[in-house]
Structure formats: structure tokens, C-alpha cells
Amino acid sequence: MADVLVIGAGVAGLVAARSLRASGADVVVLEKSRGFGGRAASRTVHGQRIDHGAQFITVRDERFAAQVEAWSAAGVVTEWSRGVARWTAVEGWRMASAESNPRYACPEGMNAIGKALAEGLDVRLHTTVAAVRPDADSWSVATRDGPTFRATSVIVTAPVPQALALLTDIDITNDVRGRLEAVTYAPCHTVALGFGAVEAPRWPGVQLPEHPDLAWIAHDSSRRAPGTADGVTLLLHATPSYSRLRFDDLPEVIVADLLAAARPLLPWDTDPTWSFHHRWRYAQPEYTLAEQAFEVTTGLTLAGDAFGEGRVEGAYLSGLAAATALRAPG
Ligand SMILES: Cc1cc2nc3c(=O)[nH]c(=O)nc-3n(C[C@H](O)[C@H](O)[C@H](O)COP(=O)(O)OP(=O)(O)OC[C@H]3O[C@@H](n4cnc5c(N)ncnc54)[C@H](O)[C@@H]3O)c2cc1C
């Protein structure tokens, strides 16, 4: 039996596991996918590394700043840009100011953060948790096709609707359930486009705050180490409203729509040589709870970007808070 089982090897789960292990706890992380980092995600498509989840990280808290500095020294992250551009139909372009706060990215892809955090931890990949149940003085965690794990405490870091689906056998007060059920997430259609050797855009990324369909374009290949990307790769995000309305549309329809929306902003009219599509049902919380670590009942804590400030930094701080809460006496 482990001291702590952590469900999810995203940023929150891995940080919680690292912090607890550093204080001597026996921790096992269970992760349904084949890799680390969760929504801080990357993959290789058509020979190019792309970030199809989180685009960059920003830093406010001094604990996260110290971590980003350490990642920077280890080459895991580099400063990608100072601010990003903005475009609206009425005002046109507004370029990033050099005084803006730095945005950090990973030359090897954003999941380099998850890989770094997972080093030395006991993480079981391809392990989907099906249910968490109380079991005398401990917790029993059933997996879909594998063993049942037991531990004194459990931290669940899946997006809240997925976390609640694992907790159906647990007596949760109406107040707690109501607060958790209020946490909704915006979906996001993501499209990567490879253009080969075209003129590089003048911006690292551009936000489109008033566009009905397209929210964001990143010059994804500008995040890679010099000389490692083959041509220009762009990464597009649909708006939450478009993503919600068109969630089940075919990938080719989404790719065509977002490409058409992006074209007027590109300094070339060449067609992409390849495309890639990914849909996130739970991309980012639309509403977060103030508690950085949310105790459902004794020994069962929820953590992740829905608790605290959101985004990668919020997930990091929530993981730390969950570990601190478990270490606190009583
Ligand atoms: C398209 C997109 C763009 C974004 N852009 C930015 C950005 O620019 N900057 C920023 O800071 N943030 C951004 N974010 C948000 C950021 O990625 C998240 O806030 C952060 O990564 C969340 O980390 P987490 O650990 O809370 O959750 P997750 O990363 O979701 O980790 C949860 C983990 O739990 C696993 N899991 C779920 N259910 C189970 C189960 N039943 N059994 C086992 N494992 C399970 C999942 O596979 C996942 O690995 C973006 C997210 C998306 C999707």
C-alpha cells in the first residue's frame, strides 16, 4: 500500500508527487495516457514538434519563478517572447511591447516540463483509473484493465468533471458537489499547419480577441531551437464558442474553417503542405475555485488548474498546495 496515490501525470499531479516524495512519502502516480505533462502537451507530426496544448508559460508567483529559473538553467524552457501581438478588424495590428512580461516555451516541446517533473517518480503510464472508493482506513483505486491500488491518501488531478465521475461511490456533501459541478471548461479545437519555406511571420503569436471563430495563432516553429524546424509551422486555436458549437465536426471541416479565418493575417497565400487537428473537451476552466487544494473528505484531495489561478502556473501551485495540505498534521 502506498502513502499517496496521485491520479494524473499533468503538471499538478507531478508537482504534488515530487513534493510529497521529497518529504519521504511513498507516492505512485497513475496516468491514463502514454506520456507526461497532460495538457502541457506536444507531439511530433510530419517530422515537426508542435505544442497542441499549452502555448507558453507566464510567471507571477515566486515559487514558480524559482522553478522556471531552474528549468531555464537546465534548458527545459527558454524565453520565447515578450508579449504577443493582437489583431482586430477595427484597429488592425498591435505588436507586442518589448516591456511586456516574458512568455516561456520549451524548444523540445511543452511536454518537456512534464518529462522533467516526472524524473525519478514512480509513474504508471497507460493506467486509467475507473473509480476511487473508501476502504476501511484507506482508499482503494480501481483501474480499468489492471490492478486495484490502495493508499492512505489520494490526490485527483483530472479536470473536475472527469474527477467527479471517479468519485460516484463517495459520500460527498451537496454543498461540495454543487461547488465542484459549477466548474465548467471551455473546449478548444486546435489545428497545426505546416507551410514549408515561406516568409516567417513578424509575430511570435497573435491574439484575435473579437474574431468569432479564431482566437489565437502561434508561430509554433519559432519556439524550437534554431535550425531544428523545417519551414514555418503555425498553431491555431478556435474560440470557445466555435469549439463548443462545432465540437463534433469532422477534422477536415475544422481545418478548412480555421485556415480560411487565418489566411487574411498571413504574409503569404501558399497552401499548407500538411495539417493536424486535435480537439480538447476540457481545455481550460471558465471558472476556478479559490482553494488551491480542495479537500473532498479526509484523505481525498482534488488539485489542478481549476483550483486557484488556472493555467500551468496555477496547476503547479495547486499541486504544491495539495502536497502541503497532506503533510499538515491533523
Ligand atoms: C489548447 C490549450 C491551450 C492552453 N494554453 C495555455 C497557455 O498558453 N498557458 C498556460 O499557462 N496554460 C495553457 N493551457 C492550460 C494548461 O495546459 C493547463 O492549465 C495545465 O496544463 C493543467 O494541468 P493539470 O495538471 O491541472 O491538468 P492536466 O494537464 O489535464 O493533467 C491531468 C492528467 O490526468 C490524466 N487523467 C485524467 N483522467 C484520468 C484517469 N481516469 N486515470 C488516469 N489519469 C487520468 C490526464 O491524462 C492528464 O495527464 C492551455 C490548455 C489547452 C488545452
**pLDDT value, residue 3:** 96
**CATH number, position 236:** 3.90.660.10
One domain for residues 189 and 235:
yes
One domain for residues 124 and 235:
no
One domain for residues 148 and 259:
no
Atom of ligand 1 nearest to the CA of 12: 25
Output the tens digit of pLDDT for each of the chain's 330 residues: 999 999 999 999 999 999 999 999 999 999 999 999 999 999 999 999 999 999 999 999 999 999 999 999 999 999 999 989 999 999 999 998 888 899 999 999 999 999 999 999 999 999 999 999 999 889 999 999 899 999 999 999 999 999 999 999 999 999 999 999 999 999 999 999 999 889 889 899 999 999 999 999 999 999 998 888 889 999 999 999 999 999 999 999 999 999 999 999 998 989 999 999 999 999 999 999 999 999 999 999 999 999 999 999 999 999 999 999 998 765
Mutate to test the pocket of ligand 1, among 39, 50, 281, 301 (most ligand atoms within 8 A of CB): 39
What span, in angstroms and rounded, lies between the C-alpha atoms of 289 and 223?
Answer: 32
State which residues form the domain around 25.
Answer: 1-40+110-183+288-330
Sequence-separated (6 or more) residues with CB below 8 Å from residue 3 = 20, 25, 26, 27, 151, 152, 153
**pLDDT value, residue 315:** 98
Amino acid identity of 195?
F
* Ligand 1 mean position, distance from CA 90 (Å): 34
- Minimum CA distance residue for ligand 1 atom 20: 312
Atom of ligand 1 nearest to the CA of 318: 26
**pLDDT value, residue 98:** 80
One domain for residues 30 and 13:
yes
Edge to edge, the sheet with strand 185-194 lists 92-94, 85-88, 205-207, 214-219, 233-238, 185-194, 274-285
Phi first, then psi: what are they for 75, rounded to 5°?
A: 80, 10
One domain for residues 68 and 27:
no
One domain for residues 24 and 128:
yes
One domain for residues 168 and 64:
no
One domain for residues 105 and 122:
no
**pLDDT value, residue 185:** 98
* Ligand 1 mean position, distance from CA 315 (Å): 8
Atom of ligand 1 nearest to the CA of 159: 30
Ligand 1 binding pocket, CB closer than 6 Å: 7-13, 30-33, 38-40, 53-57, 128-129, 157-159, 162, 166, 188, 190, 237, 280, 283-284, 304-305, 310-312, 315
* Number of other CB atoms surrounding residue 228 within 10 Å: 11
- DSSP symbol at 57: B
One domain for residues 103 and 121:
no
Q: Map grid coordinates 522553478 to a residue.
A: 67
Q: 302 pairs with which residues across the strands?
A: 156, 294
Phi first, then psi: what are they for 55, rounded to 5°?
A: -95, -35
**pLDDT value, residue 227:** 82
In total, how many domains does the chain have?
A: 2
Dihedral sign (CA 237, 242, 244, 250): negative
Asked if the structure places residue 144 within a domain, the reply is: yes
pLDDT in tens, 208-233: 999 999 999 999 999 998 888 889 99
Atom of ligand 1 nearest to the CA of 280: 53
pLDDT in tens, 123-152: 999 999 999 999 988 999 999 989 999 999
- Of 196, 208, 269, 272, the closest CA to residue 238 belongs to 208
What span, in angstroms and rounded, lies between the C-alpha atoms of 72 and 78?
Answer: 6
**pLDDT value, residue 329:** 61
Cell numbers given for 51: 505544442
Dihedral sign (CA 210, 211, 216, 217): negative
